[in-house]
Structure 1
Amino acid sequence: MSTRLTRWGHACIRLDRGDDRLVIDPGVFSELPDALDGVSAVLVTHEHADHLATEPVVEAVAAGLEVWAPQAVVDVLVGAGAPADRVHAVSAGNAFTAGGFEVEALGEWHELIHVDVPRVHNVGYLVAGVLHPGDAYVDTAGAHVDVLCTPVGAPWLKLGEVVDYVRRVEPGRLVVIHDALLSPIGQGMAANLLSRLGGAGDPVQLDPGDGIDL
């Protein structure tokens, strides 16, 4: 059975496979609540607001949804009223089932923004061959990645480093994420550079609500 990958703005993606459904990083730049419609599980890479829209996620947890995330995110959600038994802490190396999918957690820290900005924990997720790294160049430890969700615009990011990361991961294809800070011109330049130098073909650029079958 094929998996449908849908992008819901910035860093938010959704995976659907029959009755299996999960969302990764529903943040404040995401199309909410549409992204969460009918979903039973959410994965959050880290606590920054562009990856975690606290209020709608807490509301969804209260309605029955479950969340897997680093401990700092768990603390934020429970502190905002989410039932503690539906919010699960994960760290690098953990493997678990969420929304019907087998998930592997990779990585530990957000990439450095500036020496004066404290780093936060960041966990990437490998799900059904799709890697969402959050805000980090997470080590895949040789795991096969069919689709790399590739950040292209952020205070911590340099496009040359993204190209090198794509080359290390060697994915079958790229889906662009984390581009809300870029103009259309900047998005096009990033996609062109990845296409020419990344070695994974032309990046897939999806508008909110658009998706591809894997």
Structure 2
Amino acid sequence: MRLVKFTHACVRLEDAERRLLIDPDILVTHEHDDHLDLERVIEVSASRPVRLYAPEPVRELAEKGGLAAAVTVVAAGDEFRAGGFQVAAVGGEHAEIYDGLPGCVNLGYVVEGVYHPGDSYFVPRQRVTTLLVPAAAPWGRHRDAIDMTRAIAPERAFPIHDRALSADVGYANFDGWMEFKGATEYRRIPVGDHAVL
């Protein structure tokens, strides 16, 4: 089996004729933009059939784009086949960023030993041989990623959810949360610029 990393949390599993894409389409962990590219799914669906397996809020978003029929709603505990692979949906809740937010559903998927947790550190009961471990997020801590990895004890682990380590996405995400919940005036000082105190 091959694991192809695209960007951020998007990976594809390939095994002979079997192919399965995880976040942003096919298996969708939750409705956040960094895990669901609905515009791209709509674009692809214009040229070929698309099937998504996702929690209910994703179906609700897909309904607005005319794709509700393409979504099979799944929940934690469900087992199903997708892209020729056996899949178990696990977890159920997005990791907390602050004050109980974002408070949305998040499914992890164990696909024949490969575990994609989405935005959580949930430890599944299923045997995991390959862990896709979240590397950076507003809800993330290195300590939690290490604890999850040790608790699961996979044969191997690869980082996902790592685009937040970059200036184009990471800064905006961190700044947005500081502005929203920081309870003070907040502004990023661009490199080489200054602030007047």
Q: Which moved more, 1:56-65 or 1:96-105?
A: 56-65
- The residue type equivalent to 2:9 in the other structure is A
CA contact under 8 A between 1:25 and 1:42: conserved in structure 2?
Answer: yes
Give me the TM-score of the superposition, normalised by structure 1: 0.74
Cα distance, 1:74 vs. partner?
Answer: 1.1
Q: Give 2:64's match in structure 1, choosing from 79, 92, 100.
A: 79
Deviation string, structure 1 residues 138-196 (Cα, Å, up to 9, x no partner)? 2312x211100011100000101111111111111011111111149xxxxxxxxxxxx
SS in 2 for 1:108: strand
2:158 is the counterpart of 1:160:
no
Give me the TM-score of the superposition, normalised by structure 2: 0.80
Cα distance, 1:4 vs. partner?
Answer: 0.8
Counterpart position of 2:88? 104
Q: Give 1:148's match in structure 2, choosing from 125, 131, 134.
A: 131
Counterpart position of 2:4? 6
Counterpart position of 2:156? 173
CA contact under 8 A between 1:61 and 1:67: conserved in structure 2?
Answer: no
CA contact under 8 A between 1:151 and 1:178: conserved in structure 2?
Answer: yes
Counterpart position of 1:70? 55
Counterpart position of 1:52? 36
Counterpart position of 1:138? 122
Cα distance, 1:57 vs. partner?
Answer: 1.1
- For residues 122 and 65 of structure 2, the distance between their equivalents in structure 1, rounded to whole angstroms, comes to 29
CA contact under 8 A between 1:78 and 1:87: conserved in structure 2?
Answer: no
SS in 2 for 1:117: coil
- For residues 118 and 62 of structure 2, the distance between their equivalents in structure 1, rounded to whole angstroms, comes to 18
List structure 1 runs of 4+ shifted beyond 3 angstroms: none
Cα distance, 1:100 vs. partner?
Answer: 0.5
Counterpart position of 2:27? 43
Q: Give 1:93's match in structure 2, choosing from 52, 55, 77.
A: 77
Q: Structure 2 regions of 5+ residues with no counterpart?
A: 168-197
- The residue type equivalent to 1:46 in the other structure is H
Cα distance, 1:116 vs. partner?
Answer: 5.9
Deviation string, structure 1 residues 84-134 (Cα, Å, up to 9, x no partner)? 332110000000010110100001110001116331100000002100000
- The residue type equivalent to 1:119 in the other structure is G
CA contact under 8 A between 1:69 and 1:88: conserved in structure 2?
Answer: yes
Q: Structure 1 regions of 5+ residues with no counterpart?
A: 27-40, 185-214
The answer to which structure, 1 or 2, has the higher relative contact order (CA under 8 A, 6+ apart) is: 1
Counterpart position of 1:38? none
2:123 is the counterpart of 1:125:
no
CA contact under 8 A between 2:123 and 2:148: conserved in structure 1?
Answer: no
- For residues 107 and 42 of structure 2, the distance between their equivalents in structure 1, rounded to whole angstroms, comes to 20
